[in-house]
Chains A and B, each alone.
Chain A
Amino acid sequence: MSTKPAALYHRIVVWALFAMLLLPLLGTFLYSISTSWSATVLPDGLTLKWYIQLWTEPRFLNAFLQSILVCVGALLLATVLILPLLFVVHYHFPKLDGLMNVLILLPFAVPPVVSSVGLLQLYGSGPLAMTGTPWILVGCYFTIALPFMYRAITNNLLAINIRDLMDAAHLLGASTWKAALLVILPNLRKGLVVSLLLSFSFLFAEFVFANLLVGTRYETLQVYLNNMRNSSGHFSSALVISYFFFVLMFTWIANRLNRDRG
């Protein structure tokens, strides 16, 4: 058990860190609701006009929607491919899990800029030409989401002893398909939802691949934010705060679901 001075010290460190992280955000928020704020300690006045301007701006709304579409597309692809893959690996070929753990780390082994150049060369021309289209982003984001989803669902699978559950279901008359659908899949629901929400938050913030592979031809939120960097600081701040709350909401839901698992 920690002593009183030690507990106080720990508390101060935590609060100092919290303040350090929160202050820039508070500053940005304050800037996003100020009429103007340049030569004074406090803003001249408060307004919501930057938010109204932002949320009525067609280009922003389009970028926001396109970001959601690309992320949802990538995560749908990931779900459709990873769930059967995990089932096959863990039920039929458990020894392949070691190999999979190496494979899923590959997207992180290559820096995004290097990887983007490779993707541009590979998909820039020829029969698979898709640079500048959302499809290349969907494929690329799938590889980024893969490790998060694979690990989260694997942990879920290890907790339920898939082999015995499948054997029990088979002996009770279920086919492999029915056993997977009625017994295994419902037990992966929480792991899947949590990994999807966390991956969504992560992909929603992705900039390097979006900018290099697609750029303004299919503008995502981060690319839009980059392109608007020279516009009004108040407007950009409203954009950053809106983005932050959107991602915060997703992360909060993921954490809530994760906590419910106990």
Chain B
Amino acid sequence: MSASDLPEQAPSAPGWRHFEHRADMGVEGAGRSPAEAFAQAAVALTAIVCDPAAVQPRVALDVACDEPDLELLLVDWLNALIYRMATERMLFSRFDVRIDDGRLRATIRGESVERERHRPAVEVKGATYTALSVTHDASGLWTARCVVDV
């Protein structure tokens, strides 16, 4: 049995990264607040599909999710983004997120998929409850993570 696919060390600064999952992909965002961690996790989600730096923030859309459990709210948020990516045929790179008492309100910015320029690698099917956590460390750094199905 291999011990692969285990999450690496906890993040020490705001940002995003992917973590290992044998069949799918883990997304992780870190920030000084749950809202910032969620925004970073959203960048990690886009990075599964393409280079976020290649996505111009031309068009703004509003996203709203209401869910008192912060972990379930993360899944709702990522699924709302997946839904917008699929139905608007868009990719997103800027996420301004506010979370207040289980109410998430966000403005997301991006542009229509251009296959030649974005070179999208894979579409995301849905965010899962696997390896799902929203936590913070002693320094107040929040980390939001889960596995997404691709």
- Asked if A and B are interacting partners, one says no
B interface with A by C-beta (< 8 Å): none
